[in-house]
Structure 1
Amino acid sequence: MNVLVLSGGPRKHGRSAIAAKCIAENHKTDLIDLSQFALPLFTGEESQPADSQVKKLKEAAEKADGFVLLSPEYHGGISGALKNALDFLNSGYFAQKPVALVSVAGGGKGGINTLNQMRTIMRALYANTIAKQLVLDPHCFDMEAKALHAEPAGLVNELMDELALYLEISKQIRKL
């Protein structure tokens, strides 16, 4: 199964990028890290689909059987980088595909608003967002090693196990 991890953190060395890289490496998924992916600002103009980065995003989303979306919580919501990327993708990329959600919070503010906003956007794109979701606070990270500590890494594994279950169910349903 093909899973695309879409990291919505705009900081090249931020916690979202660290978490996304850990997920991609440990679970053998594809990764688009928006901190290193130069998407233009979505305007809806007819020329935008010809942009090479937009094409790469759409190709990766097209071949994905499921997604993991990560975003830091900025001012009570998802990052502009993630929202911009999602604006380039319509429901054809997400319809009936399982999606896991991860919020990378700044500590003390929770991250739940980001999860709720991602869930709302995925519902609008007809995705099947899984029930399990995850908030990673600063204490979850070993910034020197650019890794997750053991306990949060275990929570990520549980999230990915649930996503794998939904991917298998989705595969079985498509066979019908």
Structure 2
Amino acid sequence: MNIVAVSGSMNPESTTRKAVEIVAKAAEAEGAEVRRVDLRELNLPVYDCREDESTYPESVHLFKQWMLEADAFIIGSPEYHGSVSGALKNALDFIGARELEGKFVALVGTSGGALGATNTLNTLNIICRTLHAWPLPSMPSVPQSYQAFRPDGTLKDEKLQHRLEQLGRQLVKAVRMAVKGSE
């Protein structure tokens, strides 16, 4: 099982990346292979609706191929101004239903505020459904993320840590059930 994990943060000390990593490690513990996509390293250009997509740099073609080949996704975003990060939205603009259709997605959000990333998660849910993907019903959010993590990358809130780990396990279970059901 191939899962692509995308963190929508460009911050080198990203709490979103830490949250996505918790979900990814739990999925790996269940037997999945997880490709972590770092948008900082991928360095995608701004999506500009080119008629000739072959003129985009290799990073775009790699990203699209990874998304197409994936069986499922982990997508995380910080809440920026009540929505997803511009970097993540730009990356998602390069793909379509061809890459996501019928695939499960685990969504996670982080926020500097006390209310969490509810708007971001709702927006990601809409984007994924529009691209014909199946977002899992549990969408954990890490509020006040700047102070939520221990130095080892785990969450101080053990219940929230468990929710993120459970999300990774649920993603693997959903894919396995879907494969088993199609046999």
Partner of 1:145: 152
Structure 1 residue 155, shift from structure 2 partner: 1.6
Gaps of 5+ in 1: none
Partner of 1:6: 6
> How large is the RMSD of aligned CA atoms in angstroms?
1.8
Q: Does the C-alpha gap of structure 1 residues 9 and 113 become closer, same or farther in structure 2, counting only changes over 3 Å?
A: same
SS at match of 1:148: coil
- 1:2-151 matches, within 5 Å, as 2-28=2-28, 29-49=34-54, 50-137=56-143, 138=145, 139-142=147-150, 144-149=151-156, 151=158
Task: Give the whole-Å Cα distance in 2 for the aligned partners of 1:165 and 1:27.
Answer: 9
Structure 1 residue 172, shift from structure 2 partner: 2.4
Percent identical:
30
Structure 1 residue 110, shift from structure 2 partner: 2.0
Larger relative contact order (C-alpha < 8 A, sep ≥ 6)?
Answer: 2
SS at match of 2:139: strand
Partner amino acid for 1:3?
Answer: I
Q: TM-score, normalised by structure 2?
A: 0.87
Total equivalences in the alignment: 174
Partner of 1:156: 164
Of residues 121-130 and 48-57 in structure 1, the stretch that sits farther from structure 2 once superposed is: 48-57
Structure 1 residue 47, shift from structure 2 partner: 4.3
Partner amino acid for 2:15?
Answer: R
Structure that is richer in strand per residue: 1
Q: TM-score, normalised by structure 1?
A: 0.90
Structure 1 residue 43, shift from structure 2 partner: 0.4
Q: For 1:75-117, what per-residue CA distance to the aligned partner results, in whole angstroms no more than 9, with x for missing partners?
A: 0000001100000001011111001110011121321000000
